[in-house]
Amino acid sequence: MSLLPDGTGLVLDHWGAPVIGGVEPWSEPERVLSFVTPADVAPLEYASAGHRHTAFSELLVDRGDSRTGARFTCADPEAAGAVSFVIDGEDSILIVRFVDESGELTLTTRTSTSVAHDVVRRSATIENRSASRTITLPRVFSGGWALPVGQRARIDYLAGSWANEFHREHVELHWGTFSIGSRQGVTSLAFSPVVTVSALDDDSHAIAELGAYGIALEWSGCWRLQAESVAVGERLRVSCGVDDDTTTVTLLPGESFSAPDTVGLWSPAGPGGVSVGWHKYQRDYLARDLGEHHRPVVYNSWYATEFDVNVEQQLELARYAAELGAEVFVVDDGWFVGRVSDKAGLGDWTPDPAKFPDGLAALAQSVLDLKMRFGIWVEPEGVSEDSDLYRRHPEWVYQAAGRPLVTVRNQLVLDLGRDDVVAWVEDLLRRLLNSTPISYLKWDMNRSVSDGGRAGDPHGREWSVQHTRGYYRVLEMLRREFPGVTVEACSSGGGRIDNAVLARSDVVWTSDETGPVDRLGIQHGFLSAYPAHVMSSWVSDERGHHDRRDVSFEFRFTVAMAGVLGIGSDVTAWTPDQCVRAGELIARYKQIREIVHRGDVTVHGRPELPLYALEYSQTNEHTQSVCVIVYDRDRDRRRDTEAPRIRLSSLVADARYRIEGSDAIVTGAQAAVLGVDVPFALAADTDILVFHRLG
Ligand code: GLA
């Protein structure tokens, strides 16, 4: 990056393959400039309308008068506080402070890189320094990424809906704007705040030498991410931040606003390399640790009992779960007073004495006696109209402008932008965790916010920002005060999953779809942006909402073993043979768990094609272990007899590997070029192969 000679912005000189001999600072291309202003062409790191005129800007400023926008300058980079460059451990941080022409506003941009991972992190803060003027920001994005891919690019993104999240989709962008986002107060089931961008030639083929770029927004409220391609500048601009439809930021005199971080990475290895880069960052930087404690084998009773919970039946399930090898027993929805269906009870977080005559702590103790940890489901942001909490505090729910209340899943949402509501949520969780030996919390959020806002509050149009920060505050309190408690983040399945949630929770409930064939497709998309060590996945008896074909019992397990294995079936209804087999499979999972959670993953094929596989490779200082989970859902229905072989990519060519469970030894080159046999020893439609490097 360099500062423009007139100080009006930072520009991106180069981002991509290392250039021997160095890179010239960006300069204005003469030819183009005869018809466009310099600011509209410049690959600005952060653009403000008022400086830019026709191109997209990350910042819109409204001072309540006829002046549009703001023109920021870092006039004297040598002046105190204007530019600072700090090395903090593994991170290098560049902070540049700009002041607008009126002196009323400052813009501070922060860019950091790390030697520990390939991710560049950026943020922006705007401060209103005027003594008396209120300034509003109709758009205040986090930053723009002027990607040097030319005008034609492929954008890979994730899209879906309830029980159908994380499908890999792509567009080819040549002219115009592509935009995704959420206006729902949560990250959303529809889109994930992350894209992968690759350069295309005129025939729409990838220009492999240019690698690929991943851009993400670390935010769990309303958001928008857009890519814009125009003829000037030869750059594709990706901009993202808090959604500008639902949010207007108000800065009273003296106030400032910090936009959420946007992160990006470049990989020479194309989109697959971008996924590996994200996973490494999520493992080494975002996760508090990768140990088994916070990614245990869960038994969750939701599918077995739904709202019809009672202590005897939960204990019976717990006995089975312990026998199978589960490490935590989680009682899902339905344990608290009034919660006999999704129509009532949310907000009244007292164990139902009719269901637990001796209290919840008695069940928890019995679970501990079975050598498992105990966990519960909570939805602290939700409230039922039919609840004591709502009767006591109707003013705590969102009801913008006093319009009629709208319920979704029969519930309303508490306004976590209010300090008193956050304090109430914190107290409620402290009370639960201190009174009962709970060490696993599944935090759900089943209601998008359709009516956010707070009448009479100048900051009411920032409800989504405030709500999200309230949510983070509580998660951070849990980490600080209850470090042993594992948090599983959930929102009607995968409705609130992003890097910011990954930084504050341990695992995420990927989707309410547990039918194995559909689920495999969802996990395929999930793994392109998010890692296996957070991907909570249960074996259930469900068939799937879309693809209802039969697969083997083992296939159900290997789908869930691709991340953080859990069991959600009514295990008391399993046959004795199934129970024995499940116990064996859980034991097998515990053997490969470390490789799955810590390894780099390469995806082979697509779930709907024959021989889909996930190859996890974990390299320690002197050893390498590779685990390959193979799926072929129709194999036993096809007529082909040829022995299937799979070509692996993560083995070192001249190293030798022992294949677990056999005497066979292969070299990395053999495995890559000739492939290895898949014996389908585990079941007719799935297998697990493990390779250990020798010497
Ligand atoms: C949501 C979750 C499910 C389950 C139910 C309980 O749908 O995604 O896993 O917890 O709520 O009501």
234 pLDDT more than 80? no
The residues near 457 (Cβ < 8 Å, ≥ 6 apart) are none
Q: Which residue among the candidates 243, 352, 444, 547 is catalytic per the annotation? A: 444
What is the band of 438 on the pLDDT scale with cuts at 50, 70, 90? Answer: very high
d(CA 330, CA 353): 18
Mean pLDDT of 174-193: 97
pLDDT band, very low/low/confident/very high, at 33 (cuts 50, 70, 90): low
Rounded-to-integer distance, Cα 449 and Cα 492, Å: 13
Query: Is the Cβ atom of 493 under 6 angstroms away from ligand 1?
Result: yes
Contacts of 423 (CB under 8 A, 6+ apart): none
Say whether 541 is catalytic.
no
pLDDT at site 640: 67
Q: Is the CB of 216 under 6 A from ligand 1?
A: no
- Taking CA atoms, 307 is separated from 304, 355, 364, 563, in Å, by 10, 11, 18, 27
Alpha carbon of 470 to ligand 1 centroid (Å):
22
Structure-token pair, residue 156: 């890979």
Chain-centroid distance, C-alpha 285:
14
- Residue located nearest, by CA, to atom 6 of ligand 1: 333
Span from the CA of 457 to the centroid of ligand 1 (angstroms): 33
- The CA 335 to ligand 1 mean position distance, Å, reads 13
Is 377's C-beta closer than 6 angstroms to any atom of ligand 1?
yes
Max alpha carbon distance in the chain (Å)? 81
Q: Is 512 among the residues known to form the active site?
A: yes
Instruction: Give the per-residue SS3 of 166-216.
Output: CEEEEEEECCEEEEEEECCCCCCCCECCEEEEEEECCCCCECHHHCEEEEE
Mean residue pLDDT across the chain? 96
pLDDT tier at 492, thresholds 50, 70, 90: very high
Measure Cα distances from 470 to 189, 380, 419, 463, 476 in Å: 21, 11, 8, 10, 10
Q: What's the CA gap between 244 and 56, in Å, rounded?
A: 13
Compute φ and ψ for 142, nearest 5 degrees.
-85, -30
**Residue 597 half-sphere exposure, CB side, CA atoms within 13 Å?**
23
CA of 379 to the centre of ligand 1 (A): 9
Q: Is 446 in the pocket of ligand 1 (CB under 6 A)?
A: yes
- Which residue's C-alpha comes closest to atom 11 of ligand 1? 492
Instruction: Give me 508's structure tokens.
Output: 């995420």
123-181: per-residue pLDDT in tens? 999 999 999 999 999 999 999 999 999 999 999 999 999 999 999 999 999 999 999 99
pLDDT (0 to 100) of residue 637: 76
Contact status, residue 537 vs residue 557, Cβ threshold 8 Å:
no
Catalytic residue among 243, 512, 547, 687: 512
Q: Does residue 197 have its Cβ closer than 6 Å to ligand 1?
A: no
- 493 CA to centre of ligand 1 in angstroms: 7
Distance CA 260, CA 220 (A): 10
The sheet carrying 656-659 orders its strands as 600-604, 612-619, 624-631, 686-693, 656-659, 665-667
In the predicted structure, residue 448 carries a pLDDT above the cut 80: yes
Which residue is closest in CA terms to ligand 1's atom 7?
492
Check pLDDT > 70 for residue 631: yes
pLDDT at 634 over 90: no
Assess whether the C-beta atom of 513 lies below 6 angstroms from ligand 1.
no
Check if 302 has its Cβ closer than 6 Å to any atom of ligand 1: yes
Predicted confidence (pLDDT) at residue 695 exceeds the cutoff of 80: no
Distance from the CA of 512 to the center of ligand 1, in angstroms? 7
Q: What tens digit of pLDDT does each residue of 412-425 get?
A: 999 999 999 999 99
Q: What is the C-alpha to C-alpha distance for residues 432 and 474, in angstroms, rounded to an integer? A: 14
What pLDDT does 32 receive?
63
Q: Is the CB of 512 inside a 6 Å radius of any atom of ligand 1?
A: yes
The atom number, within ligand 1, closest to the CA of 442 reads 10
Cα(492) to centroid(ligand 1), Å: 6
Chain-centroid distance, C-alpha 76: 40
Q: What is the rounded distance in angstroms from the CA atom of residue 272 to the CA atom of residue 196? A: 10
What is the rounded distance in angstroms from the CA atom of residue 504 to the CA atom of residue 296? 17
Cβ of 333 closer than 6 Å to ligand 1, yes or no, is: yes
What is the rounded end-to-end Cα distance, in angstroms, of the chain? 45
Question: Does pLDDT of 216 surpass 90?
Answer: yes
For tokens 């500048």, the residue is 233
